[in-house]
A and B are shown apart, each in its own frame.
Chain A
Amino acid sequence: MTSFAEVTLKLLEGFGTTCYIFILTLVLALPLGLIVAFGSMSRFKPLRYVVRTIVWIIRGTPLMLQLIVIFYGPGLLFGVTGFDRVPSVIVAFVINYACYFSEIYRGGIENIPRGQYEAGLVLGMTKVQIFFRITLLQVVKRILAPMSNEVITLVKDTSLARIISVVEIIKSAEAFMRQGLIWPLFYTGVFYLLFIGILTLLFRYAEKKTAYLKV
């Protein structure tokens, strides 16, 4: 009989991969999303259309499909193989989440009154200074709520990595199912709940910290 401690250890191992995918995706997709957002707001039309088309494709197709395309695509199309599974997962997740984040950023940035931008210009500030000194913090405050949704979804989306055989927590639990044990699968829910509980607290803290900003 497999003991509870044994299962916990095994699941923790999988959970490590889950956390790894989550953190790396977040760290890379947050800035990339900002770049995509600027692209989709660009005054240079061709760039804007290309970026918006990419966002449409990424948001319009299942992440699972994107994972498969990124992992198997290079091999099928160009005969290049030998990509590691986890990096493929990271690439697919980062692209996918950057597109979602970009739309949240865009909404946040476009809602900042233009007058503040003009006030900055008149005071001889550069566009970059205006963005980082004035706009950004207000954008952060405005997008905290939609961001928390997206980030929480990301935690659970990491379970899709198992379809290209990355052993994250669900995949670890499935290994026990083959031995006839179903409860480890339900047990994974506890890990997710705890993790998302912590994230929720962090977001609440961030909201409190920016509460002084009445924008």
Chain B
Amino acid sequence: MEYLRVEGFRKKFHQTEVLKGVGFTLQKGEILVIIGASGSGKTTLLRCLNFLETPDEGKVYLNGELFSDAAVRYSDRELRKKRLRFGLVFQNFNLFPNYDAKRNVSLACELLARERARAKKRELLAAEKGIARLKAYRRISAEAAAMKREGIAESHARADALLAQVGLQEKRDAFPYELSGGQQQRVAIARALALDPEVLCFDEPTSALDPELTGEVLKVIRGLKGRTMIVVTHEMAFAREVADRVIFMADGVIEEDGTSEEVFGAPKSEKLKAFLKRTEEHGWI
């Protein structure tokens, strides 16, 4: 069943049209790899999906329901809720330098747990009337505090598990500057997983890394197979290996769309052939 459908994404920055009507569909659990030259609109597409940019036109359907529509202006609260369903791993990691690895992973969960506890407290208090509310105040506060503690403990446990998953449990107390680029990116992946997004996006996750560090990051991504993921990458060998579907973008449109074998094995368009040839010459394949 089709899980994610993107329809007619258009995005203009000043006079330059970066996305000229991009659309695709994705099954649950599939990995979609997007390839293409720099400036072809790959990153903008991911940023639009994660609401870091607002497309000028276009709709997204998730799980059969209309998820977002460029014609609708969402409130900050709605945007927040929607953002939680997508995850994004950045090219430059963007870890929070003031927190250690574990807190980087757990922070968002913790904040959500706090908010949930606060909301619960408000709800319980609103249910009581008059004097009863005063009487119940203590009990409800204690309940909310317990809920908060539990939520925070859960997010810590989750952060530990995720750091173990990316092979960094012994680095949980390290600050980002104490980690190599590859380790930082693995923490960033764990951080993106912490909220269990339905679609996880990667924006050139290895582009900022030294060649000898890309392997460890790719291995972690490989280990996530089974999740619905969209990966923008220049690592052609990796793309070929993990992709269930491949999209080749050029000049803001999808030039070619198919399975890994179709796109890499039997490229149809001249642009794709030229692109693959170029990457081969650069030793990326």
Contacts and interface: CB of A to CB of B under 8 A. Distances in A.
Contacts of B112: 124
Interface stretch (B20-28, B78-86, B159-167, B252-260): B78-86
A123 B50 CA distance: 10
Contact of A134 (B83, B90, B98): B98
Interface residues of A, number: 22
B80 A134 contact: no
A215 B175 CA distance: 11
Contacts, number: 67
A124 B92 contact: no
B34 interface: no
A129 B108 CA distance: 10
Given A122-B87, A124-B112, A213 B52 contact: no
A64 to B, nearest CB: 40
B284 interface: no
- Chain B, interface size: which category? 20 to 34
A118 interface: yes
B97 A138 contact: yes
A214 B96 CA distance: 11
B94 A113 contact: yes
A181 interface: no
Nearest to B109: A123
Interface string B166-185: 00000000010100000000
A122 B96 contact: no
A116 B94 CA distance: 5
Contacts of A133: 96, 107, 111
A119 B90 contact: yes
Interface in B47-93: 50-52, 76, 80-81, 83-84, 86-88, 90, 92
A213 B76 CA distance: 30
Contacts of A186: none
A123 B98 contact: no
Given A119-B90, A138-B97, 9 more contacts: A113-B92, A113-B94, A116-B96, A120-B96, A123-B83, A124-B108, A125-B107, A212-B175, A214-B177
